[in-house]
Amino acid sequence: MIFNLKDIIRTVSDYPIPGIQFRDITSITDNADAFSSTITQLSVATAKFDANTIIGIESRGFVFGAPVAAKFHLPHILARKPSKLPNETFSKPFKLEYGETEIHIQKISPIQGNVVIIDDLIATGGTAIATADLVHENWGIPKENILILAVIDLPDLKGSTIIKDQGYNVETLIEFDGE
């Protein structure tokens, strides 16, 4: 059964700061049927892209990336914040709405072929672009062979548009305009 995820996802007003409409994906993971439907929908997009590698972005991208990778028996690579991975990493700094950070992937990660980068949500696109740039720059994967796949898009923040303008593929399951 395919769920209308927009009806499932809870919106929490003024979290984590006043004025933010937080899209709570735990309302998907709390519901086994909705979670299974979400993984199925992400898997369909992954299969169409003919993926060879899945990358989950910390931390909610792990929730969705791992089951998709397992379904296709593909490696699930972790893209993490600083000081979270035990081996030598490649890193890429990027801006957040409230500062700067960086994303890391271990240099020993077996990244090849068509790469699907999975996260729960695309807002400004900074984390997704930094992860895609890491893969493109350090593993030599052409931009057209990278798909950024997310459950939720917030088109008012223009992240998906920015991702496309950078030359990457992007796909999301649902959109929340300034609702």
Residue 13 lies in a domain: no
Query: What's the CA gap between 36 and 5, in Å, rounded?
Result: 11
Q: Does the global pTM surpass 0.85? A: yes
Rg (CA), the chain: 15
Query: What's the CA gap between 138 and 120, in Å, rounded?
Result: 24
Residue 43 lies in a domain: no
The number of domains in the chain is: 1
Beta strand 53-57 with 115-122 is: parallel
Query: What's the CA gap between 64 and 44, in Å, rounded?
Result: 13
Residue 141 lies in a domain: yes
Q: Say yes or no to pLDDT of 93 above 70.
A: yes
Q: How confident is the model at residue 1 (pLDDT cuts 50, 70, 90)?
A: low
Find the CATH number of the domain harbouring 122.
3.40.50.2020
Those residues whose C-beta lies under 8 Å from the C-beta of residue 165, and which sit 6 or more positions away, are none
Query: What's the CA gap between 76 and 111, in Å, rounded?
Result: 9
Confidence at residue 178, expressed as pLDDT on a 0 to 100 scale: 67
CA angle 54, 31, 172 (to 5 degrees): 40
Residue 114 lies in a domain: yes
Residue 42 lies in a domain: no
For 64, the enclosing helix (H) or strand (E) is: helix 60-72
Boundaries of domain holding 139: 50-175
Residue 142 lies in a domain: yes
Q: Residue 107, SS3?
A: coil
Residue 150 lies in a domain: yes
Residue 14 lies in a domain: no
Q: How confident is the model at residue 177 (pLDDT cuts 50, 70, 90)?
A: confident
Which tens digits make up the pLDDT trace of 118-157?
Answer: 999 999 999 999 999 999 999 999 999 999 999 999 999 9
Which tens digits make up the pLDDT trace of 45-84?
Answer: 999 999 999 999 999 999 999 999 999 999 999 999 999 9
